[in-house]
Structure 1
Amino acid sequence: MAVAPRRPSWPQRLVPYVFIAVIMLVDTVTPRDVTFSSTLSVAPALAALLTRSLWQTITAALVAALVSGASYIYAHDLAGDVEVASLGAILAVTVVSCVSVGLVGRQSRMLANVRSVAEAAQHVVLRDVPPELDQVRTAVAYRAAAAEARIGGDLYEALSTRFGDRLLIGDVRGKGLPAVEAAADVLGVFREAAHTEPDLSRVADRMHAMLARRPVRDEEFVTAVLLSVDPTRPTVQVVNCGHPPPLLMRDGRVDVLAPVPPGPPLGLFDLADPPAAAAPAWAGFAPGDTLLLYTDGTTEARDNAGEFFDLAGFLTGRPPTSPADLTAQILTGLATHAGNRLDDDVALLVVRRKPYVPPPTAAS
């Protein structure tokens, strides 16, 4: 569905007529043999620039022509060729402005259609994450960077499997449809391998192998974090493929989950020695604990002074809240910090551990 064009505000519509009124006032306070009617041709140009409307442009041109004619009648000493030149200028500027409005409107409609198709494609790739899995509650938030028709390769998924709940967040290097294609391929492999591979590193290996089989592109890789929540113990397994590490929120404190050096990104495992995914790490994840998985567009958002968004500092000391409320708070904090100056897409995946039932102990 195409995006409706933004309607001009009333102040924008009034600017051309305020300009015409100013010219009329100047003509009345200057000698009658002096006229500024030739400048009235600016009025239709202002209407076209501010409203992007053919009717507003034509209306402003007609009013300007009427005022020009009134100025000619008022100034008896002016030659007729001066009025002809003024009307000719108004007509010429009006024609050029109308053509410009038509071309810009056509390009805007084409851009809106392209953006809507691209967003639809991205929404197909990024399916809704269920708010309730077997061991965790989740919430997802996504905010696109403020750029024309740019779509990114941020990706996320959350699944319940026989090995426990498995979660993924990642970021494809680059933008546009190639990034969405890579994200779709990575997610497709994860959605299948998460159900069949007991070893989380093997899931990452299969995602890497898929990227290696894709047509060669300029330095294409994907940073990602994979998690597997143990269904019987208060722990979580982590495989970090060159991605910002998750944050663990517990009792008002915020710590990096499993602070170990990340492995190479998906698609660049061959740079490791030996070539492989990072070794999995284990960390505590008790009932009531909250994990925040995010892409680097969150922590790299800058304010007017060029300072990065301090995500851990923003979260420290916050009272417990639902995953959905927490994502809303983070997006609000980002908007306060960076406004509309996001240089990269932002994806957030909040995971809250639900109570679990320990396995029964073996009878002695």
Structure 2
Amino acid sequence: MRSSPVEGENGGDLYLISSCSSGWISRVLLADVSGHGPTVSGLSSKLRKAMHKSINTVDQSKLARTLNSAFDEFSSDGRFATAILMTYYAPSGHLVLVNAGHPPPLIKRAGSLAWQTLTKETPGAMTQSTRELRVGLMNLPLGVINNTDYEQIAIKLHAGDRVCAYTDAYSETKNELGHMLGIGGLCEMLGSGAMIDAPIDSLSERLERILAEQGYQRANDDHTMMFIEHNGQERPKLSIPIVGNWLKNNFGLGHTDTVPTLS
């Protein structure tokens, strides 16, 4: 986990990591408010409070709609926020996510050297039944249009799988020749020899070193990157009824007793 504001101690990037006492449900929220500086920091603080208030909302589409409406209310100067909302449900072994106009998270399967974007086109990904979604605009950043809906994606994680969420300062960083790294370049860099077998808690620091060595300049923006690794730890085959029923009804998920490690 690494977060570095471009100005002062606070910036426009914000994140929340939470887990229930049983360890069955873990939630990760990452958002990037457009711009930087004191005004953006204030908006980030308000968005963080809205996230805390709704952290226990099971349906992530509903959570995203709630945050979208809240941000639209307290942002009066046209600013917006991109966001990734992710929940890991240990009894089924699935990561469920919503992307509100944010750079797509990345995933690397255990035993593979390659990182790839995590979207509904990713092999093994499932999407929420379209009958549950309202017709209209989809997956826009928070605060753009109030009546926006958000599609949920679920994907099974296995021991050793890794997921990376980040803000666009990483994918938009440029080298001395003005070449932008891009999401593809970020995937290649994460899959390089110095990164591939590195401990999960050292990845962000190693990436920063490689970027500097290859002449990529720090973008004038807040930087945040976090990694999740599935550690394969066994869990009791138990379920929280409300969450379990919702997962079954929306994705047809069963039970698998594993839980991830957050970093």
TM-score past 0.5 threshold:
yes
Matched with 2:219 is 342
Larger helix proportion, structure 1 or 2?
Answer: 1
Match of 2:197 among 320, 335, 347: 320
Q: Which amino acid aligns with 1:350?
A: F
Work out the CA distance in 1 between the residues paired with 2:157 and 2:17. Answer: 16
Kept after mapping to 2: 8 A contact 1:241/1:264: yes
Match of 1:212 among 68, 72, 78: 72
Kept after mapping to 2: 8 A contact 1:171/1:223: yes
Work out the CA distance in 1 between the residues paired with 2:138 and 2:214. Answer: 28
Match of 2:12, SS state, is: strand
Kept after mapping to 1: 8 A contact 2:12/2:36: yes
Q: What is the CA distance between 1:221 and its match in structure 2? A: 0.7
Match of 1:236, SS state, is: strand
Q: What is the CA distance between 1:282 and its match in structure 2? A: 1.0
- Structure with higher Rg: it is 1
Match of 2:44, SS state, is: helix
Q: What is the CA distance between 1:151 and its match in structure 2? A: 5.7
Match of 2:91 among 232, 235, 241: 232
Match of 2:144 among 239, 246, 268: 268
Match of 2:100 among 226, 234, 241: 241
Match of 1:342, SS state, is: coil
Q: What is the CA distance between 1:211 and its match in structure 2? A: 1.1
Work out the CA distance in 2 between the residues paired with 1:206 and 1:216. Answer: 17
Work out the CA distance in 2 between the residues paired with 1:262 and 1:308. Answer: 27
Q: Which consecutive residues of structure 2, in runs of 5 or more, have no partner in the other structure?
A: 122-136, 239-253, 256-263
In the TM superposition, structure 1's runs of 4+ consecutive aligned residues that sit over 6 Å from their partners are: none
Question: Counterparts of 1:131-142 in structure 2 under 5 Å?
Answer: 140-142=1-3
Q: Which consecutive residues of structure 1, in runs of 5 or more, have no partner in the other structure?
A: 1-139
Q: Which amino acid aligns with 1:277?
A: D
Work out the CA distance in 1 between the residues paired with 2:180 and 2:9. Answer: 22
Q: Which amino acid aligns with 2:64?
A: A
Q: Which amino acid aligns with 2:237?
A: P
Matched with 2:113 is 252
Match of 2:51 among 190, 196, 204: 190
Q: What is the CA distance between 1:278 and its match in structure 2? A: 1.4
Q: What is the CA distance between 1:247 and its match in structure 2? A: 0.3
Matched with 1:159 is 18
Q: Which amino acid aligns with 1:267?
A: G
Kept after mapping to 1: 8 A contact 2:43/2:75: no
Instruction: Count residues with an aligned counterpart.
Output: 215
Matched with 2:237 is 359
Kept after mapping to 1: 8 A contact 2:190/2:196: no
TM-score (norm 1): 0.54
Change beyond 3 A, Cα 1:269–1:322: farther
Q: What is the CA distance between 1:303 and its match in structure 2? A: 0.5
Question: Counterparts of 1:83-94 in structure 2 under 5 Å?
Answer: none
Matched with 1:84 is none
Kept after mapping to 1: 8 A contact 2:174/2:216: no
How large is the Cα RMSD of the aligned pairs? 2.6
Kept after mapping to 1: 8 A contact 2:176/2:216: no
Q: Which amino acid aligns with 1:297?
A: A
Matched with 1:306 is 178
Match of 1:203 among 63, 72, 77: 63
Query: Could you give the per-residue CA deviations for residues 100-135 of structure 1, whole angstroms, max 9, x where no partner exists?
Result: xxxxxxxxxxxxxxxxxxxxxxxxxxxxxxxxxxxx
Matched with 2:161 is 289
Match of 2:170, SS state, is: helix
Q: What is the CA distance between 1:234 and its match in structure 2? A: 2.4
TM-score (norm 2): 0.74
Q: What is the CA distance between 1:213 and its match in structure 2? A: 1.8
Work out the CA distance in 2 between the residues paired with 1:277 and 1:155. Answer: 22
Higher relative CO (CA 8 A, sep ≥ 6), structure 1 or 2? 2
Change beyond 3 A, Cα 1:321–1:215: closer
Give % identity: 23
Q: What is the CA distance between 1:209 and its match in structure 2? A: 1.9
Query: Could you give the per-residue CA deviations for residues 208-238 of structure 1, whole angstroms, max 9, x where no partner exists?
Result: 1211221511x21100000010111221111
Question: Counterparts of 1:15-164 in structure 2 under 5 Å?
Answer: 140-145=1-6, 152-161=11-20, 164=25
Q: What is the CA distance between 1:358 and its match in structure 2? A: 6.2
Match of 2:180, SS state, is: coil
Kept after mapping to 2: 8 A contact 1:150/1:175: no
Kept after mapping to 2: 8 A contact 1:240/1:262: no
